[in-house]
């Protein structure tokens, strides 16, 4: 039996055989630790009866581990040079389909409908290219896809921001943007040594479990997120200050003060102390005054 693709030895052999040179601009840091990969697959909840979607299979290190557990695996890879390699390395697994496409341009809805069984639980699992982590994740979240969870290796600092709760230094508008759609949890920190080449930043695995419904009732979503961003505008300033500045063309200071009172939020508080509920009350009050 062949060694796993993710073993350092086999990875080196594959790269050599194809004369593959990493492209930094595509965030190519491949995983060379089978243990970590098995852990990721377990955390993701990928088992028999489920489908998996991967973004950026590289030479197939994670794809192979997914194919061993999932019924079917769908993987989007942007780098043309990896296609013949993947065809070779993943040859033993008939339950994988590789799509040569930029994930930011793909019609994921359509591909899911075409490839997976109806009602099959689907988990997104990836060691993401770090240069576009946030756009990839926000796209997946806002597209209203029929997926159950997203488990991704990303830059540690970004994982912390996405999973942060009020009154923590990482808490901000990104935390709310992600947690409006999901329950977020950092499930493990990962050392640089499990990558080839090693990245310059620390990494962590973030697990996002999709919510069936938003956690708060918001009358207008774009306006809600606008209010959230406004409140975090200048972190050292009070929400009174941040909101007055942001809405200076629409509300005068007195109106803002009234709105804060109506929402029962002390004007001297800072954005970092407000939770999703507080922001929802605040946004709904101001939306009604527009």
* Residue nearest ligand SAM, CB atom distance: 56
Where are any strands of DSSP class E within the chain?
A: 30-31, 51-55, 72-77, 96-100, 122-127, 149-155, 182-190, 195-196, 203-210
Per rule CB under 6 A, count of chain residues that contact ligand SAM: 23
Q: Which is nearer to ligand SAM, 36 or 227 (CB)?
A: 36
Widest distance between CA atoms in the chain: 74
Asked whether position 51 contacts ligand SAM by CB under 6 A, the answer is no
Asked whether position 58 contacts ligand SAM by CB under 6 A, the answer is yes
- Residue numbering of the annotated binding site: 29, 31, 56, 77, 102, 127
Q: Which is nearer to ligand SAM, 37 or 218 (CB)?
A: 37
Beta strands at 195-196 and 122-127: parallel, antiparallel or unpaired: unpaired
What would the x/- binding string for ligand SAM be over residues 152 to 191, using CB under 6 A? ----------------------------------------
Q: Which is nearer to ligand SAM, 3 or 217 (CB)?
A: 3
CB of residue 37 vs ligand SAM: minimum separation in angstroms? Answer: 8
Query: How many contiguous H segments (helices) and E segments (strands) does the chain have?
Result: 12, 9
Please tell me whether residue 124 adopts helix, strand or coil conformation: strand
- Kindly indicate which of the ranges 49-57, 85-93, 137-145, 201-209 contains the residues binding ligand SAM, using the contact rule CB under 6 A: 49-57
Which is nearest to 53 in space by CA: 117, 139, 116? Answer: 116
Asked whether position 33 contacts ligand SAM by CB under 6 A, the answer is no
**Considering only residues 4, 14, 31, 206, which one is a binding residue for ligand SAM as defined by CB under 6 A?**
31
Beta strands at 203-210 and 182-190: parallel, antiparallel or unpaired: antiparallel
Asked whether position 203 contacts ligand SAM by CB under 6 A, the answer is no
Asked whether position 4 contacts ligand SAM by CB under 6 A, the answer is no
Asked whether position 40 contacts ligand SAM by CB under 6 A, the answer is no
* 250-262 b/e (C-beta count within 10 Å ≥ 16 → b): ebeeeebeebbee
- The edge-to-edge listing of strands for the beta sheet with 72-77 is 96-100, 72-77, 51-55, 122-127, 149-155, 203-210, 182-190
Q: Which residues bind ligand SAM (CB under 6 A)?
A: 26-31, 55-58, 61-62, 76-79, 82, 102-104, 127, 129, 132
């Amino acid at each position: 039996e062949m060694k796993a693709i993710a073993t350092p030895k086999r990875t080196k052999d594959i790269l050599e055989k194809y004369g593959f040179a990493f492209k930094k601009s595509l965030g190519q840091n491949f995983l060379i630790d089978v243990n970590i990969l098995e852990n990721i697959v377990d955390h993701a909840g990928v088992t028999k009866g489920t489908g998996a979607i991967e973004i950026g299979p590289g030479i197939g290190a994670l794809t192979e581990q997914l194919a061993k557990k999932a019924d079917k695996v769908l993987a989007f890879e942007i780098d043309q040079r990896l296609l013949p390699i993947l065809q070779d390395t993943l040859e033993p697994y008939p339950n994988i389909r590789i799509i040569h496409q930029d994930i930011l341009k793909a019609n994921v809805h359509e591909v899911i409908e075409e490839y997976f069984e109806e009602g099959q639980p689907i988990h997104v699992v990836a060691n993401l290219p770090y240069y576009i982590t946030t756009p990839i994740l926000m796209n997946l979240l806002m597209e209203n896809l029929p997926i159950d969870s997203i488990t991704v290796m990303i830059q540690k600092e970004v994982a912390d921001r996405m999973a942060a709760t009020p009154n923590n230094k990482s808490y901000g508008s990104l935390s709310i943007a992600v947690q409006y759609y999901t329950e977020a949890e950092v499930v493990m920190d990962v050392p640089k040594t499990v990558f080839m080449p090693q990245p310059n930043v620390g990494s962590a695995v973030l697990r996002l479990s999709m919510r069936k419904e938003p956690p708060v009732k918001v009358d207008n979503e774009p306006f809600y997120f606008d209010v959230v961003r406004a409140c975090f505008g200048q972190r050292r300033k009070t929400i009174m200050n941040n909101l007055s500045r942001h809405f200076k063309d629409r509300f005068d200071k007195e109106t803002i003060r009234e709105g804060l009172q109506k929402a029962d939020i002390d004007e001297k508080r800072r954005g970092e102390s407000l939770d999703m509920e507080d922001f929802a009350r605040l946004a709904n009050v101001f939306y009604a005054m527009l």
